Chain A
Amino acid sequence: MRKQALLIVFFLAPALQAAPGAWEAGLAATVAYDDNLPRAVDAANDFGDLATDLEAQLERVTALQPGRWLRVGGSLQGKAHRDTRGLDHLGIGAQIGLTQKFGLGALAPRVSLQLESNRLQFRNVLRDGWLHRARLGIDRRTSLPWQFGGHVAREWRRGDGRRADVVNPAFGTAVFDQNNVELGAYAQYEFSGGARLRTSCRYRDGQTDSSARPGGVLRNVAQAITRDSAIGQGYVVYRVAVRTLGCAADVDLPLTDDTSMGLGVERLESNARAGVRYERNLLRLQITHRF
């Protein structure tokens, strides 16, 4: 699937260059704090860390007909942690999306379908692999200040399986082969002057990886286990089936016509079988520029 995705972009791009459209580029710089980076269940194993993230996107936007756009492009992403350097990574991705606007004007609803494929390379190769995503979203501005939306997404993650040591012969080591479904919704208010306040929630059902020192409750709900050489400190990483509910609040301020700054917080609560649960709180500051 990953080769097909890249080939689609490679062959489509020259054809789309000839069609009426425009190139759009964006750059986002984020500083984020995660208070439970390993997604651990207990205080003895959880820890927080700060990370900086830089992402660049380049897309060709083509109007197929009035109110319908095709977007084909790619992205480059880099993330570096202050302490947990094994989780630093680079990502390169390809995206293709179709947006349909139903009607004219700012209050017309939009439906978007997006497919993307990302190659992730970590400083520690344990987590190297592919992340594919399909997303269907709807957005509707009901008045100039108010906008609402929702989405459903499907994710597939496939790890390369390198440096995946067997910890327990009863379990496989494909911790980073994960599937997820996500539902989300948001409400946004735009103040005169351009500041935006957004509240959103998302529900994820699928698999994730949680790390901890051996001997904890995660082994009871694990689907796969391997040594977590990226975190080190004797940690083991488990693939676990979880259901997660996250809710966020974001404030976004325009700095110039094409630059904005956002500050957001998100709380995530995850539940697995047998009463296993964990929580995470995320804080992020982001600057975005559109060229």
Chain B
Amino acid sequence: MQLFCGALANAGALEVTLVDKAGKPVADAVVEIVSPVVPLPANVPLTASMDQIDKEFVNPLLLVVVGTRVSFPNKDNIHHHVYSFSEAKTFELPLWTGNNTKSVLLDKPGVVVVGCNVHDWMQGHIYVAATQRMAKSDARGKLLIPNLPAGGYAFRIWHARLKASDISKLHNVVIEDRGNTAYPATLELGRDRRIRRAPSGLARDY
């Protein structure tokens, strides 16, 4: 996802390909260019939503810029209770069915981990960036950040299962003035630790 449109002349693009230690493509990783910093264009959308359907966050990885107001429409016919303990934003929103009006202003860069207090397996991430120059990897492990003037850039890679020391690591690349500059990377991911949704007997999970 890129937050601006319109191609620049004499600009290239950064194409990052991500695999894990076993060589499998890594989806839902985020690359954000942290240097040089450019101000946000005036037309960057500052509203976004993370829907809840069938007891799941429909878009479990949302990319927004600082200053975006995010709503959590509850499209189930059941109660949800969205919350976050993250340093980037702490909040809780009890959400009756159909409630589309409550929203949260994300005013600090960072990652907001979102959960549901009713359904423990529900988990989402909101990546709040200081710049619109970011993208997330697809099922093939690929992402593209276009419209980058030629020059040197530094970027970070984030993934929910990446260690903090690897997230803070800076990657450097020189972008050509046209075409895609490829940057392959191998990520060491931790185990996928999420609470499972399937019930254990008819004993209640909550």
Contacts and interface: CB of A to CB of B under 8 A. Distances in A.
A288 interface: yes
Contact of A20 (B96, B195, B196, B204): B96
Interface in A90-126: 97, 99, 101, 104-106, 108, 110, 112
Interface string A60-86: 010100110101000000000000000
A256 B198 CA distance: 7
Interface residues of B, number: 29
A112 B205 CA distance: 11
A257 B197 CA distance: 6
Given A20-B79, A144-B193, A252 B200 contact: yes
A288 B202 contact: yes
Given A66-B117, A101-B117, A192-B191, A28 B79 contact: no
Q: Give chain A's interface secondary structure class.
A: strand
Contact of B117 (A55, A61, A105, A141): A105
B195 A190 contact: yes
A21 B193 contact: no
Nearest to A75: B202
Given A101-B206, A106-B195, A28 B120 contact: no
Contact of A258 (B79, B199, B204, B206): B199
A22 interface: yes
Contacts of A26: 199, 202
Interface residues of A, number: 44
B73 interface: no
A106 B201 contact: no
Given A22-B78, A104-B117, A112-B204, A66 B92 contact: yes
Contacts of A198: 200
Given A66-B94, A104-B92, A57 B202 contact: yes
B206 A110 contact: yes
Contacts of B198: 194, 254-260, 290
B77 interface: yes
Contact of A196 (B117, B200, B206): B200
Contacts of B191: 192
Q: Which 9 A-B pairs have the closest CB atoms?
A: A194-B196, A254-B198, A22-B78, A106-B120, A260-B198, A192-B191, A63-B79, A66-B94, A290-B199
Interface of A: 20-22, 26, 28, 55, 57, 61, 63, 66-67, 69, 71, 97, 99, 101, 104-106, 108, 110, 112, 141, 144-145, 190, 192-194, 196, 198, 252, 254-260, 262, 286, 288-290
Interface of B: 76-79, 81, 83, 85, 92, 94, 96-97, 115, 117-118, 120, 191-202, 204, 206
Given A28-B202, A99-B206, A141-B195, 16 more contacts: A20-B96, A61-B78, A63-B81, A67-B81, A69-B206, A71-B204, A104-B81, A110-B206, A144-B195, A190-B196, A193-B192, A256-B198, A262-B200, A288-B200, A288-B201, A290-B198
